[in-house]
Amino acid sequence: MTETLLPSPTVTVQRIAGNIGAVIGGVDASGPLSDEVVAQVRQALLDHKVIFLRDQELDYDSQVAFVKRFGDLTLGHPIYDNAEEQPHLRAMDSSHGTRANHWHTDLSFIERPPAAAFLHAKVIPPVGGDTIWANTATAYQSMPAELRDLADRLRIVHSNDSDFTDDTVDWRGDYISNRIETEHPAVRVHPETGERALLLGGFAHSVVGYSPQVSRELIHSLQEYVTKPEQTVRWQWRVGDLAIWDNRATEHYAVYDYGTAHRRAERLTLVGSTPVGVDGRPSVVLCGDTTAYSNGA
């Protein structure tokens, strides 16, 4: 008996802001997907930097299966313990003190920050709890040529002991008990698109070769281009939403405006490559070892 092959579903892509963000339709992340559909989703991610799939019914196993179509998985987190039964999961749960209400690129203090993140909404407050993403590639392009030239030559130290951890994570002492620092280029070349994108955010600690005050001013000046409203998209969550973002060309901010209401989402991340600057120089680890996280075991 000849097997009847069903036609691939029609994948739709609807832009929702001028420089970043699109809603993807026609994809059920819990079921089997053709290589063609996966390729279309991947291309939409590269084009729009953050994409959203509504009404996705996912448990841990089905989310892992979906994410594996796009690459190798990291462990849940390089600092926190990872559960044996769900080693790739990081729960972003307000009841545990996790807020992330600071502009950041995920885990930029490690040598190989995740390439992409997949966040599935489980519990959403009745009001508030949106997330904002910014496109760091178009932000770079929006800067004056002279400032782009300077940024191309800067190296920035990212640390887990940074502004981000002051008021956005619980048990701060545990988070910074082992110092992890990496020197990254301020501008990385995207390994798939070839775009230049700023690599900044709340873990950016200091600029190599500059005093602390000048470092802060330089980072702040560059960061202002990232967080301009023109470079951003704001997402109002519903339970079942799956957000996927390119961590190599975005920053994001989880808005903490929901008080004591419960908010929970579950994140899986893809192994990333070591960032490389415009001059071809890769990032350099200054302290800390996160190879187990990137190896996914």
Give me the active site residues, please: 104, 106, 252, 267
Q: Are 51 and 17 in contact (CB under 8 A)?
A: no
Q: Are 104 and 201 in contact (CB under 8 A)?
A: yes
**Ramachandran area for residue 55 (φ above 0: left; ψ -120 to 50: alpha; else beta):** left
Q: CA–CA separation, 207 vs 269, rounded Å?
A: 27
Burial class (CB within 10 angstroms; exposed 0-12, middle 13-18, buried 19+) of 234: middle
In the numeric block, the tokens 């909404």 are attached to 121
Q: CA–CA separation, 290 vs 295, rounded Å?
A: 9
Q: CA–CA separation, 40 vs 294, rounded Å?
A: 26
Pairing of strands 284-287, 131-135: unpaired
